[in-house]
Amino acid sequence: MGVKRIYEEYQRPILGLISLIGLVAVWEFTVTYVIEFNPFFFTKPSHIATATKELLLGDRLWRDLAISSRAFLWGFTTAVIVGIPMGAVMGWRTRVEYTLDPFFTALYASPLVALAPLIILIFGVGLTGKAVLVFLLAVFPFIFNTYTGVKSTDQLLINVVRAFGGKERHLYVNVILPSTLPFIVAGARLAIGRGIVGVIVGEFYAASEGIGFAIAHFGDTYRLPEMFVGIIILSIIAVLLTEALRKFELIIAPYRAEMETR
């Protein structure tokens, strides 16, 4: 068991880590020794590290995170509950599809964040306004991916289940749901990103708390290291959520796990 073996085994995380460390090192080195920088407009990793420590030890950041998370969770959960059944019905019933498709396609394609002022106006600057914004942004990936998944269900498998005596409910459970699942997971991945954008935009626009507000506030007051902490924390959260989603998929669809590693 030499170093080479270990490297081959963990090639992916090792190379990923090297590129990350490399980027930070180059950044720090450049702004320390190569280019003079104005701390009002730029910062460097060591300053960010100090700011991170301070913010993590304080309680303001944690409160902001809790507030943003609540809005995100409400909006996202509602998007799941509404989006998946709606997409499924659209995929299964042509009449529903034809009725709703133009409307949804237009909404999905348009930059919904432009509606943020209106949403905030109607639902207020608190939890509700932000949750509605998250919902609006996150629901369409669920609708369209579920719809596409249902539509692309293999007709042969439908025939197989019917041939063995399956009724309509058996088709849902044994064919349509499992074949749509990967599409839904892919939709969830998109929805996570869009939902985070929803929270942040809501808090940029009008709020006095939340991680989006914190980022905007630090920016406005030229506290760039602190601002970067907020941004980095958001990326980490997005990555963790996406990773959790992947693990979840492997648990509910183990056959795909084996397909992926092939």
Partner 1 sequence: MVPYIRAQNVNLTFRPKNRDPVTALQGLSLEVGRGEFLSLVGPSGCGKSTFLNVLLGLLRPDQGEIHLDGKKISGPGYERAMVFQEFGLLPWRTVLANVELGMELKGVPASIRRERASELINLVGLTGFEHHYPHELSGGMKQRVGLARALATDPEVLLMDEPFAALDAQTRDLMQAELLQIWDRTKKTVIFVTHSIEEAAYLSDRVVVVTSRPGRAKKLIDIKLPRPRDYEMRLTPEFNDIKATIWNSLKDELISRGIGDGR
Binding-site ranges for partner 1 (CB under 8 A): 156-157, 159-166, 170, 174-175, 178-179, 253, 255-256, 258-259, 262
* 5 vs 247 by CB, closer to partner 1: 247
Q: Which is nearer to partner 1, 176 or 214 (CB)?
A: 176
Instruction: Using alpha carbons, select from 21, 35, 112 the residue that is nearest to residue 75.
Output: 112
- Nearest-approach distance from CB 167 to partner 1, in angstroms: 8
First-to-last C-alpha distance (Å) of the chain: 24
> Based on CB atoms, which residue is closest to partner 1, 222 or 248?
248
Of 35, 56, 36, 32, nearest in space to 44 by CA: 32
- Side chain identity at residue 135, one-letter code: F
User: What's the rounded Cα separation, in Å, for the pair 66 and 60?
Assistant: 10
The distance of closest approach from Cβ of residue 38 to partner 1 in the complex, given in angstroms and rounded to an integer, is 57
| Nearest distance from C-beta of residue 24 to partner 1, angstroms | 41
Residue 166 or 193 having the CB closest to partner 1: 166
- In angstroms, what is the minimal distance from the CB of 252 to partner 1? 10
